[in-house]
Amino acid sequence: MENTSKKHIVLKILLALLPALIFTQNYAWMTLNSFTGVAFLIIWALMIWSVWQFTEKNYIIERFFRLTEISFFLLPLSAIIFAFVLGSQVVTSTSNEIEQAGAALGTAIGGTFAVILAFIIGLIGGIIMHLITSKYDKKAEASEVKQSESLSNKHGVILSLVAVITLAIIIGSISSAQQSAQITKEKEELSNSLQQSGINQTDTTETEQIKTENKKVTIEIMSKNFHEADYMSGDYQDQITMDLKFTNTTDKEIRGVEGVLTFYDIFDNKISATKVSYDKGIPANESKVWKSGTNYNQFMDEDIKLRNTELKDLKYKWEVSTIIYTDGSKETL
């Protein structure tokens, strides 16, 4: 006797992609793209499970369109969660109350845009899917083929929805904890590095833009650009990017270098400082160019000044803290 669960198996697998893709977008917004690839496979499998015991085409199609309808209507809620989670993450990454206020306002503006867009897409997509679902629902009711009373057949829709939300909550919480720990660690490392380098808010000595002599690894900023956030592609923050040219002036190949890059304006007033870690390798007496980026907050004076200062007017000081050579030796400066 033929296994009924295998009937229309190709249709089940392919048509399950439709709700899986929209549900994955909901998941991505809820978790800020945490482990999206793995989540998509889990959600896809969940969609297939919800119709696995169905043997009649109209029931299969109706179930998938019903799931897609729900996933579209869920988009505005997911966008609201996205705005909240993103705002919390950005505020956590700031170091003082002024930065926190600016970050909160910035994410509120971006979050509002995302919610409005999600509402429009979700409403239109949900209505279209509802009309199509109603059509196949009537066909399924008129069908003479009776379906089994399995768990997936009776409760597949609600269980699938609960499973997607639960998956987002679990993985989102894990990812958020990891990111918070990483942000705290980076803050501590930068603070320690700044203290060891003797850099403070009033230190404006040796700010020549030309590479400093007697440096084992020098930096030259080749270009400076600005990139706006693209929420739909998963890029949630504006960035200031720079092409940094690292030059190894030693006779040994370098595996990685770490230090602090401090920026000054044309009047030698400090703009900001950032920790730079480069681990791509630099051959002896050669150079490597690396594109680096730092997040931009339109409500932070330091970020605005760094963005608006032209490269020809931007001064910077590079303080190397650690060099690791390919022979395994390590040098702390």
pLDDT, averaged across the chain: 80
* 174 against 200, higher pLDDT: 174
Q: What is the DSSP letter of 205?
A: -
pTM: 0.54
Count of CA atoms in the C-beta half-sphere (13 A) of 32: 21
319 contacts 260 by C-beta, under 8 angstroms: yes
Summarised one tens digit per residue, pLDDT across range 181-222 is 665 665 565 555 545 444 444 343 444 443 444 478 999 999
Residue found by looking up tokens 């009537």 in the block? 138
Q: Is 65 exposed, middle or buried (0-12, 13-18, 19+ CB in 10 A)?
A: buried
Residue 233 vs residue 305, higher pLDDT: 305
Q: What is the tens place of the pLDDT at every residue in 239-257?
A: 888 999 999 999 999 999 9
Exposed, middle or buried by CB within 10 Å (0-12, 13-18, 19+), for 91? middle
CATH of domain 217-332: 2.60.40
For residue 90, pLDDT over 90 is answered with no
- Where do the CATH 2.60.40 domains begin and end in the chain? 217-332
- Rounded to 5 degrees, φ, ψ at 321 are -110, -35
Q: pLDDT digit string (tens) for 17-70?
A: 999 999 999 998 888 888 888 999 999 999 999 988 888 888 899 999 999 999
